[in-house]
Amino acid sequence: MKADYYEVLQVTRTATDQEIKTSYRKLAMQFHPDRNPGDKSAEDKFKECSEAYGILSDPQKRAAYDRYGHAGFGGAASQGGGFPGGFGGFGGDPQDLGDIFGDIFGEMFGGGGGGRRQSRAQRGRDLKYDLTMEFEEAVFGKEQEIKIRRQETCDDCGGTGSANGKQPVTCAQCRGAGQVRYQQGFFSVARPCPKCEGSGVNVTDPCQTCRGESRVSREHTINVKVPAGVEDGTRIRYQGEGEAGKLGGPAGDLYVELRVKAHKFFQRDGDDLHCVVPVSFPQAALGDELEIETLEGVAVLKVPEGTQSGKSFRIKGKGVPHLNSHGKGDLIVEVRVQTPAKLTKKQKELLKELSETMKTDNAPQSHSFMDRMKEMFS
């Protein structure tokens, strides 16, 4: 008993034409004899899938199959080597099948396009340039000229590759298609033409400057504008500043990737800056006003009395400018109380006198449940 065609292609009866085509393409790649040499079951499955697709890809045949099943085709299933509709053993639209197998073999063998004619002009390659900059330059922005070496259109031949203004001639091997076909198992596979390298044309009288390549290598200067607020790894795209295309094709793009050096004092978190400032015990205990160096000069930070080591303070608007927007981030200052490593005799006496006036419970402190929860999520 013949299997249901919908079950063979692993689709529902309400599947669209595209869903049927996609499922068939996947199964054909899986069971193709070239991928399963000597596997009779895979070959039979491949033929079964092709037979099912030959029916379900044709609107009229699919309608007849939906109404009458296999009986609606009588002996048709035995024609053409076991596949409905003939066409070398496959049903359905020949052009449609050609597109499918062109896609399949494009993936299997590195070809592409199912043998379709390629454009003679070829797009130029994209280029990448790493620009290293100081931390402050990334914060405030900068302009800098960079030099890159790239392939540019030859001025002497105007990008044709031919001398004296002669136009290239159609490639005799691929007849302008840019591809040639090779036999792969049951099917022919399209690959780029080795004579014209996929362009479809040959230069018979090459330009002496570019030697028929249509492009020459030159050094080019570009003014890079880095906006304020960029981060390490930011990429700036300059459209059309890559290599020129071959035979008049469009130019590629230039990508400038920014490498920002670390700062010796500040650390960046988004558009906020963080720093650590040491304070003495008297400053933390009695309070004080500190002058803090920022990227834009000096700011005053008021430290209240009784400040504990590790306390953070926020200075508004002293961070990094928002990229392509208004406003700035903040500066987060963490104060840390420093214990002096060396004391004079007088200092020791004063601290001892102070210590006698203060009593501290040195027993281990237990944290409440809420304290532990805050620590967990902080």
Binding residues for Zn(2+): 154, 157, 171, 174, 193, 196, 207, 210
Phi, psi of 176, deg, nearest 5: 85, -5
Structure tokens at 1: 């008993």
Structure tokens at 112: 């592409």
* Sequence ranges of the binding site: 154, 157, 171, 174, 193, 196, 207, 210
End-to-end Cα separation, the chain, in angstroms: 68
* Residue 195 one-letter amino acid: K
Q: Give the three-state DSSP class for 80.
A: coil
Type and span of the H or E element at 97: helix 94-109
Contact by Cβ (8 Å): 118, 201 = no
Contact by Cβ (8 Å): 196, 171 = yes
Contact by Cβ (8 Å): 310, 258 = no
Structure tokens at 256: 């400038």
* Residue 267 one-letter amino acid: Q
Contact by Cβ (8 Å): 54, 90 = yes
Contact by Cβ (8 Å): 232, 257 = no
Please give the full DSSP string across 300-340, using - where no structure is assigned.
EEEE-TTPPTT-EEEETT-SPBPTTSS-B--EEEEEEEPPP
Phi, psi of 133, deg, nearest 5: -140, 160
Q: How far is CA 284 from the centre of its chain?
A: 50
Q: What is the DSSP letter of 264?
A: S
